[in-house]
Amino acid sequence: MVQENDYAKFLQVHEAQLLLSGVPQHFWQTLYIKLKNQVFDSSETFALLQLDYGDETRTCEDPLFILQVQCEEGIKHEDKRHVYLVDHAWTYRVTSARQQLLEMSNLLDRMCKMMGVENGTNEVRADQVCSLMWKYSQTYSLRNATSVEDGLPIWYIMDELGSAINHSNTPNFRAVPLFYSAEQLTYTVMFPIKDVEFGEQVTRDFVESISDETTRKAQLMPWIKSDFTDVDFTQIEPDELYFLEGHIEESLPKSSDYEIHISGKIKVFSEYNLVNQFLTDDRFEITEDESNADILWYTRHFKTYLELSETPNKYVNQFPFEYVLTVKDLLSIVCRRKSGNKTDSETMNTLPVWFPTTYNLKSELCKFISYYQHREKSHLDNYWICKPWNLARSLDTHITNNLDYIVRLSATGPKIAQKYINNPVLFNRECGRVKFDVRYVILLKSVAPLKAYIYNNFFLRFSNKPFEMADFDDYEKHFTVMNYSEEVVLHHLPCANFLEQWKEQYPDTPWKEVEQRILCMLREVLEAATSVAAPRGIAPCAQSRAVYAADIILSWDRSSENTDELYMQPKLLEINWTPDCKRACDYYPNFYNDIFACLFLNDESSESFTCL
């Protein structure tokens, strides 16, 4: 018997999920009963069969198992009884997947049996499972997560029955995840979408939300291999609509050709605590009155520049459409303007040389697969770092040369695939030779004409373990962002100390020589970002001033004149909006005094800055 009050409460919590997942309403009550009573009765209706290929060679596309209808009367898709719960054999975060397999022998054995991995040590078998699991893994995200971390994709592999459901372009079942709040667990709900006869194989569409035939082929690559080398991998700059898609509309100021005059102390309204704490120059005054402030220093995005121009003697710490620099996929488009979308014929690296080859995994997936396959045929390194367009701190970031893995990541939200720097310049620490990156603070004062500076004291970030092209799930070996976790050590090294050690470690390469390349690169980026009109470029605004942080890594590249000669080539990784400046304030207490003097008082003669 179904208690109507209990069922009503179930619907109150789960109806939105059921509707969003497309579970037909006639299954809801049966599903509720099975969830409440933990009824897993699929074995009464289906048979799990292992295929024997005999003397034939099983290819990577051939399934090990199939699921077959075994009830003689078959299944009617309108019969409310035929909705089934599928348990999850393994739920994991990618960063800890391999470690879980090594620590849980029963899990490793189960995954090996499911995926047909037979021989080798536990380490070898775990590596094979991590390579094959993208054919079996599904994903979901918690929509009401209370933090960015909790909202990151969660991966899972269904039990043996669920994992035996193979792909078809004309499926007869669907399988969707459902979070059951009473147990705080996620199950898969499996139900028919057409009548299925006795003995018929159960199938589902692995890419059911995609209708475009070419895109479907690309998304199905983990299961059905296709040759994309006839696809032109040349990247073309998209139209204006692309730059507007997914962004809140911005208004433009009435005019950008006038000077701002403020008399007396300059009142600063700041949402950033460090500005309130470290801006001590007595020419400025912190105020909590936003409406009467002369400078608005926000940590939220500002969009209403037309309205701002109604109060012409007020500044804001942002420029219209500056997101063309700070959103990763748009930054890659901006940087390519400096090369005309050209590619080096020998290395296949796209130009300019200072920006790693980058593809948008949403709009350029087919081009990316083509490029990947061309590199593979040329026996070129094919490691990629995949990261979300708009997240920082290395969240949801993956390093791999596994094309199946990359293709599956494209379904977990907007991401770019960027060529991983496989030959970085390393720095000696007590633990060995580690990766490091350099952060330069950029001050943008004007777009037309372009007027920008860098803060001369740059900032260093280091990995904690010696670098090697292995163990890509080892965060402390391949990443440098260590200041957001209490579990890892942050290595502090101020700029001056770094320069002293640099002279000892690289006596033949003066830092000034490296820095000159960096400054030229940053100038080119800003030129590219301001060379075209909004929304494809940053718009001029007399009331705008901005501070960004450019993250740069050094790579050993081959000289175009002498291919045997290596030189240090700066590579731009990303540009950040409202960067975390805690270390800047800790190292240099006058950081914000200098920044504000340069941006708002035209004090540009300070030794703290270099004009780009």
Band of pLDDT at residue 171, cut at 50, 70 and 90: very high
- Sheet strands (E) in 339-425: 358-360, 384-388, 398-400, 415-419
Q: Which region, left, alpha or beta, applies to residue 77 given φ > 0 means left and ψ of -120 to 50 means alpha?
A: alpha
pLDDT at position 436: 97
pLDDT at position 392: 73
pLDDT at position 55: 84
Q: Is the dihedral of CA 510, 513, 517, 522 positive or negative?
A: positive
Model confidence pLDDT, tens digit, residues 379-396: 999 999 999 987 777 788
Cβ burial 225-249 (10 Å sphere, 16+ → b, else e) = eeebeebebebeebeeebbeeeeee
pLDDT at position 251: 94
Distance separating alpha carbons of residues 99 and 91, to the nearest angstrom: 13
Band of pLDDT at residue 141, cut at 50, 70 and 90: confident
Residue 28 has pLDDT above 90, yes or no: yes
Upper half-sphere CA count for residue 260 (Cβ side, 13 Å): 26
Q: At what angle do helices 511-530 and 495-505 cross, to 10 degrees?
A: 120
Cα 444 from chain centre: 26
Q: Which amino acid is at 159?
A: D
Residue 397 has pLDDT above 80, yes or no: yes
Q: What average pLDDT does this structure show over 179-187?
A: 94
| Among the listed residues 418, 420, 415, the one whose alpha carbon sits nearest the alpha carbon of residue 362 | 415
Read off φ and ψ for residue 551, nearest 5 degrees: -100, 125
Cross-strand bridge partners of residue 544:
316
Band of pLDDT at residue 407, cut at 50, 70 and 90: very high
Quickly count: other Cβ atoms within 10 Å of residue 483's Cβ.
13
Q: What average pLDDT does this structure show over 65-72?
A: 96
* Whole-Å CA distances, 389 to 78, 125, 325, 385, 608: 42, 33, 11, 12, 32
Q: Which amino acid is at 388?
A: P
Quickly count: other Cβ atoms within 10 Å of residue 181's Cβ.
11
Q: At what angle do helices 122-132 and 105-115 cross, to 10 degrees?
A: 50
Q: At what angle do helices 94-103 and 122-132 cross, to 10 degrees?
A: 150
Residue of higher predicted confidence among 489 and 351: 351
Q: What average pLDDT does this structure show over 414-431?
A: 96
Rounded to a whole number of angstroms, the CA Rg of the chain reads 28
Residue 564 has pLDDT above 80, yes or no: no
Q: What percent of the chain has pLDDT over 70?
A: 98
Q: What average pLDDT does this structure show over 509-518?
A: 97
Q: What is the pTM of this model?
A: 0.94
Q: What average pLDDT does this structure show over 276-297?
A: 96
Distance separating alpha carbons of residues 246 and 244, to the nearest angstrom: 6
Read off φ and ψ for residue 163, nearest 5 degrees: -75, -10
Please say whether the beta carbons of 463 and 479 come within 8 A.
yes
* Whole-Å CA distances, 296 to 270, 313, 486, 551: 6, 11, 33, 26
Residue 516 has pLDDT above 70, yes or no: yes
Band of pLDDT at residue 2, cut at 50, 70 and 90: low
- Share the mean pLDDT of the chain: 93
Residue of higher predicted confidence among 245 and 345: 245
Can you tell me whether residue 398 is helix, strand or coil? strand
Distance separating alpha carbons of residues 491 and 339, to the nearest angstrom: 37
